[in-house]
Amino acid sequence: MYDQKREYGKALEHYEKALEISVKSLPSVHPALATIYSQVGAVHAENHEYDNAMENYEKALEITLTSLLSNHPSLPTTYTNTGKIFDAKCATDQALENYEKALAIPLNSLPSNHPALPTTYTNTERVVDKKGAYYKALENYEKALEISLTSLPSNHPSLPNTYANIAFIFDKKGVYDKALENYEMALETSLRSLPSNHSVLATIYNHIGALYAQKDAYNKAIENYKMALEISLTLLPSHHSVLATIYNHAGAVSAERGAYDEALKSYEKALEISLKSLPSNHPKGANDKALENYEKALEIRLKSLPSNHPSLPSSYINIGFIFEQKGAHDKALKNYENALEISLKSLPLNQPGLATIYSHIAGVCAEKGAYDKALENYGKALEIRLTSMPENHSVLTTTYRNIGCIFDKKRANDKALGNYERAIGMDVASLPSNHPPLATIYNHAGSVSAENGAYDDALENYEKALEISLKSLPSNHLVLATRYNHIAVDDKALQKYEKLSKIVWMSYKVNHQPLATTYSDIGMVYAEKGAYDKALENFEKALEMSLRSVPSNDPVLVTRYGYIASVYADKGAYDKALENYEKALEIRLTSLPSNIGSLPSSYANFAFNYKKKGAFDKALENYEKALEMNLKSLPSNHPLLAAMYNHIGSVYAEQHRYHKALEKCGKTSGYDSMALVDYLQGDYEKALILPERLVECTCFFSDKSPLSWKNTREHGRSV
């Protein structure tokens, strides 16, 4: 009775008294003693006292094996109990061994379609699932289903669970059509056996919605999310976090469809629920409250569970994710690494869950500018996914795209392009031709091709991106203006941007980042047209909104200040340019590691403006800093190094220190440097033998700012 009421302390007290009396009055191998030991073990198991539980279950098993027949029907229960303890302690091999012993007895003594068999198969597959052996898990689930279908009525409540388990495995394997088929069977059987507002139905609708979203069938996804929401609203308090989650999912799908009004309504309802779950005067935001709860959950789990329990990594991942959202990258990384350490001890090396953790770590490393560490971890994630997932799985495409982005950041353009092209090849083979993510990858490939000077390839990729976007997005989608802008800077792009800024203004809160991005894009178009005042107006609006909506050290502010500084430089307002570059550098130095690839461009931009002001010593000091950083991170024949030596040479030439100028320019290779050297030495005729354009292109004569507006994707990267 106390056991059923979950008063485990009192239950244990009574079981132990019964055991004490029975030990004195019964033979040591009496079956009744095995029953009491099992009851004591069960109470310890409920209290997560696994060692005590195991000790009692083993005593029960020992008595049962010596006093009863080897195929006695009570033995499977004892083996199953022992298996559950090993399972809880993450000893998956021992757990599997006991579950298989439990299964072997009824298989030999019961008809093959006996309804007791599915439960044992299910226990076995749970452990197999944890080991990442999805094929074996699927085999056991399907055996359980086969038996259930022949021995149970079609509306039996255990059938939906079996279908859902099979669906879960197919989902893990990335076989979404089979997953969907089984979730729909789970739904069909649930509708026959459960009330129409049962929570299980809401869960199944939610799973089905997520799968349709994964397949980009957004209308079907929304339909199922709405069913899940309708049921949940009748069962849960109006401020329950599950409702906020469903609204968020529905909002994300609506946004993908371009239905921004619907998306906005869903997100606002999710926000409203989240705000209601906190006191009106609560000083913390939703992330802080979530973090507080995750940390409390972890504290409890650490006290009550083994150090390698499978629920611990998920706690660390949740905490890491919140820290990542807050921009606390070091704390996020620490928690992700804790999750990885535990998972490596308890999971097979090819378990997809490990790949997910490696990807989390890589993402944070990328945010910190630790690109080599990011590549290392994305590589490990890719290795696991290649061995455990179908070759056209969307997660593989994402991984290749992420790796491409990192190489892009490192300016390893050929490797970046190689990974983008792999991602494109996989998406072309597995997705509809108008799938929006394809446009994104084509856009990345176009940007890298443009940086490599392969303008025909760039244009081809940009046009493919635009073609897909025109087919798959509403005519007022802000992405379309970006696509037009990549292909050509003209009034058409500008009109699109300005129209979209009004649309986005109506759709988002005034401090929302998409609106800031739209203003920044409008500023880019005006800057390319030379309309610097209009460019400044839009860049400053973008900065104002970002300052209200992101942390003070967020890298997006570096970009905002950088664009403003570049416009001031183009206007000749060098003091204002320097002021904004200094703000950008301050953020970079506090939020990113000292070896990040964009730092040299910051110092080069300082140097350019000091040179234009005639402060040549300050210009040299900053060019030398930029050169020193680039020498550490770039190959010795990289064209940026040649450009940097030429910039330094040009400052020495301005100071009439021609020998120093020759020394620096002599370190570069190519006809441009040769022409400059000949010119400086007074051999004008020899210099003129070379094509005129090469003489003109030397930085000695250049008044261009290091920032090139055309095809710029990241401020300062053209330096």
Per-residue pLDDT reduced to its tens digit, 514-527: 567 667 766 776 77
Q: Has residue 511 got a pLDDT over 60?
A: no
Choosing from 473, 504, 536, the residue where a domain stops is 473
Q: Has residue 402 got a pLDDT over 90?
A: yes
Check whether residue 379 and residue 286 sit in a common domain: yes
pLDDT value, residue 117: 41
Lowest mean pLDDT among 103-117, 284-298, 410-424, 703-717: 703-717
Lowest mean pLDDT among 107-111, 336-340, 535-539: 107-111
Calculate mean pLDDT across residues 177-205. 87
pLDDT value, residue 677: 46
**CA neighbours within 13 Å on the CB side: how many for 196?**
2
pLDDT band with cut points at 50, 70 and 90 for residue 273: confident
pLDDT band with cut points at 50, 70 and 90 for residue 208: very high
pLDDT value, residue 685: 45
496 occurs within a structural domain: no
Check whether residue 373 and residue 443 sit in a common domain: no
Q: Has residue 400 got a pLDDT over 70?
A: yes
5 occurs within a structural domain: no
Q: Has residue 638 got a pLDDT over 90?
A: no
Three-state DSSP class for residue 45: helix
Q: Has residue 640 got a pLDDT over 70?
A: yes
Check whether residue 298 and residue 380 sit in a common domain: yes
Judge whether 485 and 492 are in contact, CB under 8 Å: no
CATH number at residue 303: 1.25.40.10
d(CA 622, CA 74): 81
DSSP 3-state percent helix, strand, coil across the chain (nearest 5)? 75, 0, 25
Check whether residue 432 and residue 344 sit in a common domain: no
pLDDT value, residue 363: 92
Closest CA relative to residue 154, chosen from 116, 112, 192: 192
More confident call, 255 vs 133:
255
Choosing from 454, 473, 492, the residue where a domain stops is 473
pLDDT value, residue 704: 37
Choosing from 385, 419, 449, the residue where a domain stops is 385
Please state whether 332 falls in left (phi above 0), alpha (psi between -120 and 50) or beta: alpha
Check whether residue 380 and residue 437 sit in a common domain: no
Calculate mean pLDDT across residues 637-663. 78
Dihedral sign from CA coordinates of 509, 512, 518, 522: positive
Closest CA relative to residue 418, chosen from 448, 391, 389: 448
Global confidence as pTM = 0.48
Check whether residue 688 and residue 620 sit in a common domain: yes
Calculate mean pLDDT across residues 367-396. 87
Check whether residue 329 and residue 343 sit in a common domain: yes
57 occurs within a structural domain: no
d(CA 166, CA 182): 7
pLDDT mean across residues, the chain = 73
Check whether residue 377 and residue 305 sit in a common domain: yes
Check whether residue 297 and residue 331 sit in a common domain: yes
Structural domain of residue 286, as residue ranges? 282-385
pLDDT band with cut points at 50, 70 and 90 for residue 660: confident
294 occurs within a structural domain: yes
Lowest mean pLDDT among 148-157, 185-194, 509-518: 509-518
Calculate mean pLDDT across residues 657-677. 59
Calculate mean pLDDT across residues 332-358. 86
Q: Has residue 591 got a pLDDT over 70?
A: no
pLDDT value, residue 349: 76
Q: Which long-range contacts (CB under 8 A, 24 or more apart) does 185-188 make?
A: 186/159, 186/160, 186/161, 187/160
Check whether residue 645 and residue 662 sit in a common domain: yes
Judge whether 102 and 76 are in contact, CB under 8 Å: yes
pLDDT value, residue 415: 92
Judge whether 438 and 463 are in contact, CB under 8 Å: no
| Tens digits of residue pLDDT in 435-494 | 667 777 887 887 787 777 776 787 677 677 767 766 665 554 545 545 555 554 445 545
What CA–CA distances, in Å, run from 141 to 91, 105, 149, 169, 667? 21, 19, 12, 9, 69
Count of domains forming the chain: 3
Q: Give the rounded percent of residues in the chain with a pLDDT score beyond 90.
A: 12
Rg (CA), the chain: 32
d(CA 210, CA 627): 50
pLDDT band with cut points at 50, 70 and 90 for residue 581: very high
Length of the chain equals 719
712 occurs within a structural domain: no
φ, ψ for residue 488, nearest 5 deg:
-160, 140
607 occurs within a structural domain: yes
Q: Has residue 77 got a pLDDT over 50?
A: yes
430 occurs within a structural domain: yes
d(CA 104, CA 266): 51
| Tens digits of residue pLDDT in 82-92 | 878 877 766 66
pLDDT band with cut points at 50, 70 and 90 for residue 575: very high
d(CA 84, CA 639): 62
Q: Has residue 423 got a pLDDT over 80?
A: yes
In the numeric block, the tokens 């003070």 are attached to 552
Check whether residue 408 and residue 355 sit in a common domain: no
| Tens digits of residue pLDDT in 134-170 | 445 555 556 655 655 565 556 666 677 777 777 877 7
Query: What number of other Cβ atoms are within 10 A of residue 632's Cβ?
Result: 9
Q: Has residue 224 got a pLDDT over 80?
A: yes
d(CA 344, CA 324): 22
d(CA 144, CA 138): 10
312 occurs within a structural domain: yes
Q: Which of 143-147, 263-267, 320-324, 610-614 is modeled with the greatest confidence?
A: 610-614
pLDDT band with cut points at 50, 70 and 90 for residue 79: confident
pLDDT band with cut points at 50, 70 and 90 for residue 404: very high
In the numeric block, the tokens 């739904």 are attached to 187
Q: Has residue 719 got a pLDDT over 60?
A: no
Check whether residue 350 and residue 413 sit in a common domain: no
